[in-house]
Amino acid sequence: MLAVSGGGKRLVVVALVLAAVLIPVVVGAGSASVLQDACTTPVYENGLDIVFGRATTQAAAERITRRALTVGFQGAKTVRETCRVFKSALRGINSFDVAVGIQAEARRVRIHPTIECVTAQEIGQLQAIFGTRRTLAEAQALYHYKDFLGFLMAFKTLTEDLQTPDDYELIVYRLMEQLKAENVLHAEVYVSVGVCLWRKQNFGDILDGLERGRERGERDLGISVLWIFDAVRQFGPGAAQEVFELAAKFRDRNVVAVGIGGDEQKAPPELFRDAYAFAAAQGLRLTAHAGESAGPESIWGVLNLGAERIGHGLTAYQDPELIGELATRQIPIEICLTSNLRTGCCGKIADHPVRRYFDQGLMLMLNTDDPAMFSTSLTKEYELAQSEFGFTDEHLRELARNSFEASFLPPEKKIQFLNLLDSAAARA
């Protein structure tokens, strides 16, 4: 997702998020020393007031939830009616929060709504509403995985709770609220359309929900959002073609680009040549995750597909010729520090090549990937880059400028945002 954060000393940061699927998620990556347990910390980290209205403590949030449950179930005579009433009550007080995660990268943004851990009482009611049978302990366990495959499985499970257009409207609006809190002005958000189609969901209805959330967020919060439709590699080239055809169909509804994510080991870029050629012919911009869980050959592969931005690029350093190619062509690389650590793609923060890439002249942006799943934020990613790799404030401003320049905005909008960035820098 492309995001611009401004204000305060740090100025504005632009981030593109990479992720795959619409599920509550955030942007970022980080080491264990920086991360907090997503299942025990309040949503958005700055207190539960955002989620529960006036509630500023866990106890207050639980009291509000209990009152809502009591009111919500009065008069309900059937299970169906109970679910409907309770779901309405939840929307009214926001007691069920899907924290939307954004992966911030210079080239694209993916929305991954991941359901934040809630109280045991809420879990019991959500089971009735959404048809899940997940206990609180099981929900917490989903946030603990050992490797990239474990992350993918957790992501798959968590997204099962997104079922209706209203669910998607809610997570988009929550995402934009979070972006507003970080002074983000623009976001290019990945939607895992491939997962929606795999679940046989009506994506036209889902897009209606997404657009309602986007329109509300733009009106209330002043943030602009563009969509990137993301296909799942391991579902195959035929499934990717379906996703890209939907992107072409809905270009007039703020869909700007397409991409592929998922398991690089199971589906190399070459399989998607025809799908990417189709998307390019339709005027869509091209992105791809590559070099996250596979070697530099995966990055070469997506470059051959015409990818204009690359998610992660973690293994590019293994091929000096590739580094030269990326530097010469100034291909934007979406860096997700915390994500790479949590998925095990990078063993420890000191091993991450971000500073090496910067010094070698690659065009980098900082991103969050799936913020809720990785317990991070765009601000945290910038702080991590500065504390662990010695990036100065001026370096961070350069990374922020890169995000704007690598965005899929029209030139006049890029200039507008870059001018805002420079103005904030001058005041700092």
3-state secondary structure of 64: helix
How confident is the model at residue 75, as a pLDDT? 45
Residue 412 has pLDDT above 90, yes or no: yes
pLDDT digits (tens, 9 = 90+) for 236-251: 999 999 999 999 999 9
Phi then psi for residue 398, to 5 deg, are -65, -40
What confidence category does residue 165 fall into, taking pLDDT thresholds of 50, 70 and 90? confident
pLDDT digits (tens, 9 = 90+) for 61-112: 444 444 444 444 344 444 344 334 434 433 333 322 222 222 222 223 344 4
How confident is the model at residue 78, as a pLDDT? 41
More confident position, 209 or 370: 209
Residues 38/388, Cβ–Cβ less than 8 Å? no
What is the value of pTM for the model shown?
0.70
DSSP 194-251: HHHHHTT--HHHHHHHHHHHHHHHHHHH--EEEEEEEEEGGG-HHHHHHHHHHHHHTG
Residues 370/155, Cβ–Cβ less than 8 Å? yes
Q: Among all chains, which residue has been given the structure tokens 């997503």?
A: 38
| Ordered structural domains, the chain, with CATH | 49-98+116-141 (no CATH), 148-427 (3.20.20.140)
Extract the tokens encoding 417. 């945002």
For the chain, give the number of residues.
Answer: 428
Residues annotated catalytic, as ranges = 292
3-state secondary structure of 178: helix
Question: Can you tell me the mean pLDDT for 298-320?
Answer: 98
* β-sheet bridge partners, residue 286: 258
What confidence category does residue 147 fall into, taking pLDDT thresholds of 50, 70 and 90? low
Residues 6+ apart with CB under 8 A from 81: none
